[in-house]
Amino acid sequence: MLVYILKRVLATIPVMLIVAIFVFLLLRLTPGDPAAILAGDAATPAQLERIRDRLGLNDPLLTQFFTWIGQLVRGDLGVSLLSNTSVAGMLGDRLGPTINIALMTITISVLLAVPMGVIAAWRHRTWVDFLVMSFSVLGFSVPVFVIGYILIQIFAIELRWVPVQGYKAPSEGIGPFFSRAILPSLTLATIYVALIARMTRASMLEVLGEDYIRTARAKGVRENVVLFRHALRNAAVPILTIIGTGFALLISGVVVTESVFNIPGIGRLTVDAILARDYPVIQAMILLTAGIYVFVNLLVDVSYSFFDPRIRY
């Protein structure tokens, strides 16, 4: 297992290098000029040229690339072209809200979706199954921002249970954190509940038809033990895959929710950096996202063997 993990970790190096080359070239080929954003609308072409020189944007592409790679190897993500602040510091500030919201979302989703999927499979073709599947279709179909606005209207504006927007770190108190994180997490959870519930149901339906389930029932094992210990554990691999992918997606793609709830996460940081062509920030963000995907996939692969002893590395 350790050798397998080591191999996978080493395999991330070429993956990250390819991502680095790709993102670097893509950004340089995309129209846009960070110097123009920095200097503002009234800057003359001559002033922009001098700023570009200072920022190193007029250097040959290869020089720019190797300067950046050299910094990366030394663990330096560089500084933002606009704010002159360390990119690592910016990522550190923004990663916390995104990860915390993602963890809360995944927790809510798993706690709701797995039992829903199991029950829907158990009560296949009954009104319970129909209800769960209807919710799933709804969860997929309604845009996230619509759900966000509806939740804000009900819980923040009408009932005034929670604030409309904002974010507080758990270190500032569980109450402030929870009251601000709950609506965005619920909003995001609607999609993931739908996704995980459907996957759980499908996977469970397959397992529930197996001989060993019939045997367990014939032996008089209680139904909840059959469902959750025998069937669910065997149905776990695809469910884990979808949870892992979902978590990675949550880390990298919650821009709309972060905007609607005004959460200073990495989704907004990425969009802002792209709009401003803040190259060091965009490059770092894409590398980070790629790294998260690789790490989460590794974690999911390793966890397969925990749920399915037949899988060995």
Partner 1 sequence: MLPLRSALKHSRGLAAAFAATTALLAPGSLAAQDGETTITAVMHSGLRVLDPVITTAHITRNHGYMIYDVLTAVDENFEPQPQMASWEVSEDGLTYTFTLRDGLVFHDGAPVTGEDVVASLKRWGKRDGGGQLIFDVTESLEASDEKTVVWTLTEPFGPLLSVISKQSAVPPFIMPKRVAETSADETITEYIGSGPFVFNQDEYEPGVNVTYEKFDDYVPRDEEASWMAGGKVVNVDRVVWTTMPDALTAINALSAGEIDYLEQVQIDLLPILDASPEVTVETRDDLGYVTIGRPNHLHPPFDNKLVRQAAMAALDQESMLQTMQGDPAYYNVCGAIFGCSTPLGDEADAEIVTGGADPEKAKALLEEAGYDGTPIVLMAPTDVISLINQPVVAAQALREAGFEVDMQSMDWQSVVQRRAQQSPVSEGGWNMFFTNWMVPEISDPLTNVMVSGRGDEAWFGWPDDPEVEELRAKFMKAEGPEAQKEVAVEIQKHVMDNVNYIMMGEYLIPQARRNTIQNMLPSPVPVFWNMTKEAE
Contacts to partner 1 by CB under 8 A: 31-33, 36-48, 50-51, 53-54, 80, 82-85, 90, 93, 149, 152-154, 156-166, 168, 172-176, 178-179, 259-262, 264, 268-269, 272, 275-277
Contact 81, 256 (CB under 8 A): no
Q: Which is nearer to partner 1, 39 or 133 (CB)?
A: 39
Closest separation in Å from C-beta 82 to partner 1: 4
Strand partners, 86: 79
Closest separation in Å from C-beta 95 to partner 1: 13
Q: Which is nearer to partner 1, 91 or 194 (CB)?
A: 91
Closest separation in Å from C-beta 281 to partner 1: 9
Closest separation in Å from C-beta 46 to partner 1: 7
Q: Which is nearer to partner 1, 92 or 238 (CB)?
A: 92
Residue with tokens 């009900």: 154
Q: Which is nearer to partner 1, 33 or 223 (CB)?
A: 33
Say how far apart CA 192 and CA 143 lie, in whole Å: 13
Closest separation in Å from C-beta 157 to partner 1: 6
Closest separation in Å from C-beta 53 to partner 1: 7
Residue with tokens 């080929």: 29
Say how far apart CA 213 and CA 208 lie, in whole Å: 6
Contact 82, 36 (CB under 8 A): no
Q: Which is nearer to partner 1, 122 or 155 (CB)?
A: 155
Contact 116, 181 (CB under 8 A): no
Contact 149, 140 (CB under 8 A): no
Distance of CA 194 to the CA centre of its chain: 16
Q: Which is nearer to partner 1, 160 or 219 (CB)?
A: 160
Say how far apart CA 144 and CA 27 lie, in whole Å: 29
